[in-house]
Amino acid sequence: MTSLSPTERTTLGRKRNRAATDRATLYAVLDEALICHLGVVRDGAPLVLPTGYGRDGDTLYLHGSTGATTLRTASGEVEVCVTVTLADGIVYSRSVNNHSMNYRSAVILGRARAITDRDAKMHGLHVLTDHLSPGSWEHARGVNAKEFAAVSVLALDLAEASVKLRAEGPDDEPDDVAADAAWAGVLPIRTVFGEPEPSADLPSSWAVPEHVRTRVSSPEAVGR
């Protein structure tokens, strides 16, 4: 597993001790999160929108409607910025100023390219589907010609990326610790999947398929 190669744009300016330099951590953040935020400059103004994505090796696939001007802009000769953030906990400190958050975040910079080759585009859609709902590519109806023509798929190399994380307790001033005037600690944040809710028009004979059922979080994970 190769390490991240920092550039001037991906080198942290503050809290450099929170930077992760191994590519495995970048992959882990991207694989766990469900959406990214795509940032572009459109008509001279910055625009950041939530976007579906999926990763295959060192390629990040993005998708959306062919009518989306943001994706058309991103597929041109412009730099884009993709960010992904996982919130892991609220950090309560003894002073309001030192309250914080535990998190894992990734920033990817570069130029996205539009995928026009049919097989490559279909592969990108497969990767995107597996990221959001693994198992659906094999279970649900495939993409028809009309749908295929109406969707754009972009590819962004993970060559220029940075990862930053915080996974610790409060960072209180010694005087505040000694004063012992307020509670301090971490309130964990967890994302869980609840019980599937069948569509109202689904016949009662349908059982929840395994690829959906196996994603349901255990009661222990929900209640702990």
Q: How many CB atoms lie within 10 A of CB 57?
A: 9
Q: Tell me the C-alpha distance between 119 and 46, whole Å.
A: 33
Q: What is the DSSP letter of 51?
A: E
Q: Tell me the C-alpha distance between 183 and 99, whole Å.
A: 12
Q: Residue 188 burial (CB < 10 Å; 0-12/13-18/19+)?
A: exposed
Q: Is 109 in contact with 133 (CB distance < 8 Å)? A: no
The reported pLDDT for the residue numbered 222 is: 54
Task: Return contacts of 178-186, CB within 8 angstroms, 24+ apart.
Answer: 179/94, 181/94, 182/93, 182/94, 182/95, 183/92, 183/94, 184/92, 184/93, 184/94, 185/92, 186/89, 186/90, 186/91, 186/92, 186/102
Q: What is the DSSP letter of 3?
A: B
Domains of the chain: 16-89+101-172 (2.30.110.10), 192-224 (no CATH)
The 10s digit of each residue's pLDDT in 127-174 is 999 999 999 999 999 999 999 999 999 999 999 999 999 999 999 999
The reported pLDDT for the residue numbered 99 is: 97
The 10s digit of each residue's pLDDT in 111-128 is 999 999 999 999 999 999
Residues of the chain whose pLDDT is less than 70?
1, 219-224
DSSP alpha helices (H): ranges in 68-117? 69-74
